[in-house]
Amino acid sequence: MMRKLITHLFGMALIALAGMAAAQAAEQKRTFEVASIKKNDSGNPNNLFLGTAGRFSAQNVTLSMLIDRAYNVQDFQVVGGPGWLNSEHYDVEAKADGNATGKEINGPMLQSLLEERFKLVSHRETRELSVYLLSTAKSGPKLKVGSCLTREANMPPAPGQRQSDFCGFGGIGNGTLRMTGTTMDAFTDLLSTVMKRKVVDSTGFKDKFDVSVRWAPDPVSAGNAGPAPSDTTGPSIFTVLQEELGLKLESGKGPVEILVVDHVERPTEN
């Protein structure tokens, strides 16, 4: 009798676990209520990601850009796939239900959209690749701990306030990098975007700090925003990091997580 009771309870527990797993899987596969994808042949060099509560909007973006956002990777971490991943542009509009968060919309839900409409199949793996090693120069770090404003949730900046006034701000482009109240992890992530190679932190610096540097852009370190500047004279990013921030950037090898595109198709428009 006792054995039958134990068996029964064990079976009920398995059913409950299976139900929880199914619910979690359904949550992970959460999708947009409606989505529109149209090819953009304007030839405009600018692209834009927008978004309001419950919506995803992208204008004149490539599938590669969408993959970067959906899977939280950078260009150098995506391998495989046809050339049109980086050459063809699209406008994407998608609406979610009112309970969807921005993190869900730009992550799992965007992944589901790419898998459904672009038939995207991918997998992650780790490879030994070229990286940049960030360490402290002999002069020691020159990172300045500044003051910044903490933005309240869903509150826009007051008139006259700049985005760069707020803690966590980060921006790059045309040979410039500026961050406010940042961490070393966030700094190396943005620096990886600039250098188009993973930057590995070995400085041991733990405090938050401000950064505002400018260097002579080259084809690698120009950043992502705006047209290429005409003036390319001045120090390199390696020199600027060492002289102004007391940091040294050197080439090396290390493990890098990548996203391998196994299959993808052009979407049908709607």
pLDDT in tens, 177-221: 999 999 999 999 999 999 999 999 999 999 999 999 999 987 665
User: Rounded to whole angstroms, how far apart are CA atoms 64 and 87?
Assistant: 9
Q: Tell me which of 107-121, 141-155, 238-252 is least confident.
A: 141-155
Give the single-character DSSP code of 222: S
User: Rounded to whole angstroms, how far apart are CA atoms 63 and 86?
Assistant: 7
The residue ranges of every structural domain in the chain are 34-118, 128-152+162-257
Quote the tokens at residue 111.
């992944």
Q: What is the pLDDT of residue 132?
A: 97
Q: What is the pLDDT of residue 156?
A: 67
Instruction: Look at strands 170-172 and 176-182 and give their pairing.
Output: antiparallel
Q: What is the pLDDT of residue 153?
A: 58
Q: What is the pLDDT of residue 112?
A: 96
Upper half-sphere CA count for residue 183 (Cβ side, 13 Å): 4
**pTM confidence score:** 0.71
Average of per-residue pLDDT across 250-256: 96
Q: How many CB atoms lie within 10 A of CB 159?
A: 5
3-state helix, strand, coil in the chain (%, to 5): 30, 30, 40
The C-alpha angle 230, 243, 219, rounded to 5 degrees, equals 30
CB 82 within 8 A of CB 96: no
User: Rounded to whole angstroms, how far apart are CA atoms 102 and 225?
Assistant: 23
Q: What is the pLDDT of residue 10?
A: 44
**In the predicted model, what is the mean pLDDT of the chain?**
84
% of residues, the chain, pLDDT over 70: 80
% of residues, the chain, pLDDT over 90: 61
Could you read off the pLDDT of 61-94 as tens digits, one per residue?
999 999 999 999 999 999 999 999 999 999 999 9
Q: What is the pLDDT of residue 30?
A: 78
User: Rounded to whole angstroms, how far apart are CA atoms 196 and 181?
Assistant: 23
Longest CA–CA span in the chain (Å) reads 86
Residue 13 has pLDDT above 70, yes or no: no
User: Rounded to whole angstroms, how far apart are CA atoms 75 and 62?
Assistant: 11
Average of per-residue pLDDT across 150-166: 71
Which strands sit side by side in the sheet containing 170-172, from one edge to the other?
A: 170-172, 176-182, 209-214
